[in-house]
Amino acid sequence: MKMSHAAGFLLASSAAFFSLQSAAADWPESGKAIQVIVPAPGGSGTGDTIARLVAEQLARRLRTSMVIDNRAGANGNIGATAAARSTPDGYHLLFSWAGTLAVNPVMYKGLGFDPRKSFEPIGLVADVPNILVVSKDLPVRDFKGFLEYAKSRPGQVNFASTGNGSSMHLAGELFTRETGTKLVHVPYNAPGQATTNLISNEIQAMFQLVPGILGHVRGGTVNALAVMSPVRSSALPDLPTTAELGYPQLVSSTWFALLAPKGIPPQIADRLNTELNAVLAMPEVRKQLADMGATPLGGTREALGEHIARETSKWAQVVQRAGIQAQ
């Protein structure tokens, strides 16, 4: 008797399912490395630094090795696409952030991945807020003073970013929406040059991430006016938040998360979540994150999925209102 196509398909699917279940029970295999794709250049940047810190501790807890695979390009889209196409066996993961997971789906057409359909959430890792910094040559000393200065000079105050749709750009657009100011966006290819021009007052303001500007704030070469967060930054505890200053909706940050390709066995995803939360509870990890201005997060897998949905909706409104397009 010949087997029907439907029956053959069911048998093949069942075999694949039980094969995954069997592999999950033995995961991770001794000597088999876990690849973590980071969609950014290696050796620099907040994302790569946090990814390596977390991967090192996860590897110890899982008693295996974790290899960081930097896949930079297209604002993170190249790396995320590669991760989405990886085998969902627990040996291929994605460490990514707000821009790739919540902003790019709004700005780009024909992405090779969908943050909510291509991946299984593992967990939130950390959050790094933007802070408003201004040139020391600007005749303002606090947030209120900057608002008055900007409102009296519509279209005359410039703010720098690392490109259209970047965290700094979106933070600036959110600022203009919430405060009723009209600032001029000036995109740069390199954050270092933007900071240099801020110091020389060629650019008046930046909405930089804490780690990228912390040294200059502490060194006194720029003035920090507010952290765009509901809570103060551990790295700059004396800096007021936008919420304290009367703007609770003026919140902007880059959050980082760990994900896996869709189809990963649930028990592996749950184990990864458990171990990630354990890593983020370690005092030494929390201190290293705090020292760079990052807040450790953690939480359930479901919480990450819900967070991505909320953030996508929030930034879609900012992108569409400002007419931001991918470069």
* Residues 23 and 123 grouped into a single domain: yes
Pair 239, 233: CB distance under 8 Å: yes
Q: How far apart are CA 262 and CA 242, in angstroms?
A: 37
pTM of this structure: 0.89
Q: What is the pLDDT of residue 5?
A: 56
Residue 236 lies in a domain: no
Query: How many Å separate Cα 175 from the centre of its chain?
Result: 19
* Residues 142 and 56 grouped into a single domain: no
Q: Which residue has the higher pLDDT, 75 or 179?
A: 179
* CATH label of the domain that carries residue 204: 3.40.190.10
- Final residue of a structural domain among 227, 262, 294: 227
* Residues 116 and 140 grouped into a single domain: no
Q: How far apart are CA 185 and CA 158, in angstroms?
A: 6
* Residues 116 and 201 grouped into a single domain: no
* Residues 168 and 123 grouped into a single domain: no
Helix H, strand E, coil C: the string for the chain is: CCCCHHHHHHHHHHHHHHHHHHHHHCCCCCCCCEEEEECCCCCCCHHHHHHHHHHHHHHHHHCCCEEEEECCCHHHHHHHHHHHCCCCCCCEEEEEEHHHHHHHHHHCCCCCCCCCCCEEEEEEEEEEEEEEEEECCCCCCCHHHHHHHHHCCCCCEEEEECCCCCHHHHHHHHHHHHHCCCEEEEECCCHHHHHHHHHCCCCCEEEEEHHHHHHHHHHCCEEEEEECCCCCECCECCCCECCCCCCCCCCCEEEEEEEEECCCCHHHHHHHHHHHHHHHCCHHHHHHHHHCCCEECCCCHHHHHHHHHHHHHHHHHHHHHHCCCCC
Q: Which residue has the higher pLDDT, 327 or 213?
A: 213
* Residues 109 and 121 grouped into a single domain: yes
* Residues 158 and 124 grouped into a single domain: no
* Residues 42 and 71 grouped into a single domain: yes
* Residues 124 and 9 grouped into a single domain: yes
Q: What is the pLDDT of residue 43?
A: 82
Domain that holds residue 269: 5-128+254-322
Residue 304: closest CA among 278, 268, 270: 270
Confidence of residue 18 (pLDDT cuts 50, 70, 90): low
Q: What is the pLDDT of residue 1?
A: 46
How many folded domains does the chain comprise?
A: 2
Residue 247 lies in a domain: no
* CATH label of the domain that carries residue 312: 3.40.190.150
Other C-beta atoms lying within 10 Å of the C-beta of residue 160 = 24
pLDDT in tens, 231-243: 999 999 999 999 9
